[in-house]
Amino acid sequence: MDVRVMKAKQWRARCLACGKEFSYADGFECDAQPGRHTLDPREYYHLGAGHIQSIRDRRMFTPTLNLISGLEIRDKVTGEITRMESLIVHFKEGGKYETTDPLEQYHLDLHPGVMTGQAGREAWDKMYLTQDQQLTKAQTQLADIQKQIRENNALLDLTKKGKDGVALR
């Protein structure tokens, strides 16, 4: 089975307004508010700037994705025109886009070359940050982890001293 088909069948979300869990097949209309359900905001990363050599120019990359093509159908008998709206998203500079719209999230989750979550952020960092920026970020994260370890060790020492009968301040 195709990976996209599997992802589409497994896609589920929970509305912040009505609390209902729904899938694509259930539709996106909300009972608690007019229009579509509202989801937790999710940030998406477009990784299509690899062909741009300059990192500085890469950061100016603002892709536009046409997720659903607009369609106009004319009935041959009655001549009545039915229009289906297109769904187009415009990423910010650097290929980032945030949305709470379930239809957008559904199509972006299935779109190749677009990622979300921690894995998406890490892939985005590799694409858009220079080696020095990546090194600085890693060093900062390491310093934060070392600080947490020192704080936890100090707390553990205080706890041990308290159990040994030494008065705590």
Query: 80 and 149: one domain?
Result: no
Rg (CA), the chain: 24
Which of 94, 117, 140 lies at the terminal end of a domain, its last residue?
Answer: 117
Query: 26 and 52: one domain?
Result: yes
User: What are the pLDDT digits (tens) for 104-113?
Assistant: 999 999 998 8
Q: What is the pTM of this model?
A: 0.72
Query: 44 and 84: one domain?
Result: yes
Residue 35 has pLDDT above 70, yes or no: yes
Query: 99 and 28: one domain?
Result: yes
Query: 58 and 96: one domain?
Result: yes
**Boundaries of domain holding 89:** 3-117
- Please name the residue that has the structure tokens 């008998």: 77
**Residue 4, token pair as written in the block:** 């996209």
In a domain, 149, yes or no: yes
Residue 152 has pLDDT above 80, yes or no: yes
Question: Which residues, including other chains, have CB under 8 Å from residue 168's CB and lie 6 or more apart?
Answer: 158, 161, 162
Work out whether the CA dihedral 93, 95, 99, 101 comes out positive or negative. Answer: positive
When divided into structural domains, the chain yields a total of: 2
In a domain, 122, yes or no: no
More confident residue, 125 or 162: 125
Query: 36 and 91: one domain?
Result: yes
**Residue 169, token pair as written in the block:** 């301040």
